[in-house]
Amino acid sequence: DAGVTQSPTHLIKTRGQHVTLRCSPISGHKSVSWYQQVLGQGPQFIFQYYEKEERGRGNFPDRFSARQFPNYSSELNVNALLLGDSALYLCASSPRAAGETGANVLTFGAGSRLTVL
C-alpha cells in the first residue's frame, strides 16, 4: 500500500513568488495535516483538513492557505514567499477527524523541501 505521497520533493523559488505543494493521503484516510519544519527545528502545525473542511489552523500568516479535494488529496499554497519560508513541508494523513479518537495518529510523507532565494 502506498504511504503519504508529496510532490514536488524539492523546489527553488525566489522571494515574492507563489508555490503550491501537493499531498496524497493513505488510501482510506480522510484527514490531511500540513506541517512546516525549518532546518534544525521540530515540525510546526499549519493546517488540518477533514472532508474538505478546515478543522484546525496553526499560527501562520494568511499567505498560507490550503484546500482538500473530493478524493482527499490536498494542496498547500504559499503566496508572496519570504526567505523565512524556506523549509521542509510535511504532509500527514489520519483516518480520523479532529475531535475523534485517534485523530492525532498521523502518518507522515517524506516532505517537500522548499528553498526561497
Partner 1 sequence: AQKVTQAQTEISVVEKEDVTLDCVYETRDTTYYLFWYKQPPSGELVFLIRRNSFDEQNEISGRYSWNFQKSTSSFNFTITASQVVDSAVYFCALSEAGTGGGADGLTFGKGTHLIIQP
| Interface pattern 81-100 for partner 1 (x via CB under 8 A) | -------x-x-x-x-xxxxx
CA torsion 55-57-46-40 (nearest 10°) is -130
Q: Whole-number minimum distance, CB 41 to partner 1, in Å?
A: 6
Report yes or no: 24 and 110 within 8 Å, Cβ to Cβ: no
The single residue among 33, 68, 74, 93 that binds partner 1, judged by CB under 8 A, is 33
The single residue among 12, 80, 110, 117 that binds partner 1, judged by CB under 8 A, is 110
Parallel, antiparallel, or unpaired: how do β-strands 19-24 and 5-7 relate?
antiparallel
- Residues engaged in binding partner 1 (CB under 8 A): 31, 33, 35, 40-46, 48, 55-56, 58, 88, 90, 92, 94, 96-111, 113
